Every structure is written in C-alpha cells, then in structure tokens.
Amino acid sequence: MTRFRLIIGSAMGAALCATSVFAQDSAPEDLLPPEPARVTEPLPDYTRDAPQPAAQPSVEESFDDIRMSSGEVVQQLPVLEREWTLAQAEKLLAFIPTVADEGLVPGDYRAEALAAAIAQGRGPALDAVASEIFIWLVEDLRDGRTPMDARRQWFVVDPDPDVLPSHRLLETAVETGDIAGTLRALNPVSPDYARLKEDLARTSDPAKRKLIRANMDRWRWLARDLGKQYLLANVPEYQLRLTVNDKIIKHYRVVVGKPGRTATPQLSEMVEAVIFNPTWTVPQSIVKGEGLGAKVLNNPGWARANNYTATKGANGWITVVQQPGPGNSLGLMKLDMPNPHAIFFHDTPAKSLFARDVRALSHGCIRVQGARELAMTMAMLGNAESREDLPAIQQEVSEITASGKYTRYPMEKQWPAYITYFTYGVDVNGELRQFDDIYGRDAPVLAALDAPRQDDRARETSEEAVEIVDDLQTS
C-alpha cells in the first residue's frame, strides 16, 4: 500500500472482479496543468487584518455602537454613509447607466435624485443619497438583484457579502475616489459570465435579453470567484463539468431529479472524500411506506439475491441496507459531500438512462456517466502533490474497488462542488445555447426582474430542505 490515508470498512457482499475497473477509465495526464495567471480587476482583501494606511479609517471606525442608557454596548452596526465630494458623486452618477451592460436596470438607482443632490452642493443630503445608491449597486452587482423568495430551491449561501462587506467597499470607494473601479470589480470572474455579457450586447430581442439577464443574475448568486478547480453540475443541461483554471478538463452526462418533490436542489458543498463500493441505507419512506422492510425480513432468499440486509429493533423499527456490489443502487462509487439534503454524485447500474436526451429521472441525487473515472480523478486530484504520485494512487484505488469493500478515501485537498440551474449559457462544448427549464424556475426570476427592486433581501432561503428519497433504479 502507498502512503495515502484510508478508512476501510468490513467486507460486505460479494467481491468484485479483481480486474482493475480503471484499465480504460484512467485519468488524463493533464489533470495537474500549470496554473495560468488569471487577470481580473483587483479587490481589497477585507478578510485580513493588515494595517490600514494612516489616512484611511480603521475597521473599528467603520462601525457605530448602539448603547443602552447604562452605556453598555449591545451591538455594532456598519456605517453605511460617507462624506462625498462633488467629483465622486458625479463619477457615481456617470456609472449608473453602465449597469445596463451587466443586465441590471439603471432606473433602479435614483439617478435623478443624485443629480438633484449634486446640484445642491456638498452636504448631508448628498452624502445620504450617494451612499444609499452606492450600497444598492454593491448589493445588486455582488449578490444579485433577484430576491431570495424568487430563487426556488436555492440553498447556496453566497460568501461575497462576508468577504466584500458593503461598508468597506463604500469606505474604499470614497477614500480612493475610484467609484467605478470598485463597483466593476464585483462582477463574477467566470468566463461564462463574460460570454453572457457579450451576448447581451449583441441581442435586441426583448425576450432573449431578459433570459440572458436572468442567467447573468444567477451567476451573481454564487461566489464571485468559484476557485481554480471545482465541479459544476448544470441541472437543465444534464452535464457535470470538472474545471481547472477555467478549463473544462472533463465533462460527464448526468441524470438529475424528477420535477416535483424530488427535483434536485441548488447547492454549494465541499467534496471531502470518495466512497468506493458504497452501501445504501434505504429511506424509511421505502422501508416502511413501500413495505421493503417486511419483504426483506420475510423473504431471505430474495433479500440475498438483491444484496439487502435488515435489522429490526426492539421498538419495531426496521433498518434496511443494500450492501456493496454491482447491483447496488449507488453503483461502485459516490462523492462524499455532506449536506442536509443528502444530495451527492454517484454511480448507477442503470447505464441505459444516460442515452436519453431528457434525464430528469432520479429521486434527487445526481447519477454520473463515467462515475468510476470521476472517482479516480477526484482521488488523484484530492491527494496528489505532483504527477509522480498519480500512478500509486491509481493502483491503490483500483485495488480498493476490486476488493468489493466499503472504503472511504479521504481527499486531503477538498473540492468545491456547485449544483446550479442555468437555462441559458455556455454549454460543455463552448457554445451559447438555451436549456429547457425543466423545473419551471425561470418564471419567478423573470418576474422579479420586472418588479421594483427590493431592499433588505434575505441571504438564505426560508425553504426547508426536502427529504430526498435517494436513488432506486427508475426508468
């Protein structure tokens, strides 16, 4: 065995064929490409405690204390108003029309009120109007204009308001005088967003423009920068991308959740490990609701043939587990990415479903064509320090898979995984195209673009996590 850390369970079920399943599915040699320099507009790193220049207010000076009559501090609130010069306010006024290029509506940002305040000269009225407009622009460019209640089944929590807080951006803009630069730097850095922006500039059809704008806004619901390497599944496209340095290294067909209660939710999670030869703990909605528990207990021959084991507790509670094997509903692997929805990427024995054009067929989890190759790739990229490490990892994982034993293979370098919902964008072949709105999630977003801008928008959805019924084989 090599130096890589493993957690191996006891043998469960029949062993798999000893021949390496990765003989023809090995990862390409360019999985560890050199990292090209990414050119983006710089933003201050507000997450560090670097010393501030003498002329710039400190972090503490950017907050006001709320005090009780006793003098006790009960809360600190960020200061969202600054003193503006006329020149700075005029730069802000000139910036407002340019947000149309980003799919936003200039009319949302009170240009007339700002112009009137400029005409009155410096003072509290100008400071209040300019600061408020600037904060509105920050919120919409950084977080998206669509309110949370129009983002159906959107469980991603955007980190950008924490990394780039509004009060610090306001502070930076008025201290440096670079109003436009501070705001422009909030745009998503993904090349896919840039392609949408270019397409918006070329398109005159109102309906298409609105669809482009809606999907540009969806990019703002995510982190401004997704990172140098990540997995991204676009549910309406039925594709999973493995991306390194903005390049799709590999893409895979996927089966996603059926419309309705088992529709796949949108998530941003971390892949912590690869699980080879997984077990499947059957949900109670099937064990009890569909009578599987009683069937397994009363028909031991059928249970053995289908690799099920069952235990009945003193309280009558039945637990059913499908053991590892080629017929396991999760196939030969799954990516361990803990989340309250129990959503993950996994293999499946039902390979024929990948040939269909419409692949919204699962109970919520995402089945991946070529899952064994993906598992090998994740094991390599999650643990290799150099190309020299790759053959040893490949050999080790091949042996694990052939053993038939449940094995959790941790990833020292965890990968972010994004499950998204873009109905217009760049496909895996690099072409701009529209995807079917399989869950009907465009309508509330399009309506929100027509509605007045909302203040004080929630950062997290109030929707509850849907209990996913995992993945039985479905046709």
Q: Given the DSSP bridges, would you call strands 432-434 and 424-426 parallel, antiparallel or unpaired? A: antiparallel
Exposure string for 53-87, b = 16+ CB within 10 A, e = fewer: eeeebeeeebeeeeeeeeeeeeeeeeebbbebeee
DSSP state of 246: T
Active site residue 17: no
Active-site residue identified among 167, 251, 341, 346: 346
Give which of 71, 73, 72, 70 is closest to 60, Cα–Cα. 73
> Is 135 in contact with 109 (CB distance < 8 Å)?
no
Active site residue 167: no
Distance CA 160, CA 142 (A): 7
Distance CA 438, CA 423 (A): 9
Give which of 368, 369, 394 is closest to 383, Cα–Cα. 394
Distance CA 397, CA 392 (A): 9
> Is 217 in contact with 140 (CB distance < 8 Å)?
no
Q: Which helix (H) or strand (E) holds 390?
A: helix 390-403
> Which amino acids are annotated catalytic?
346, 365
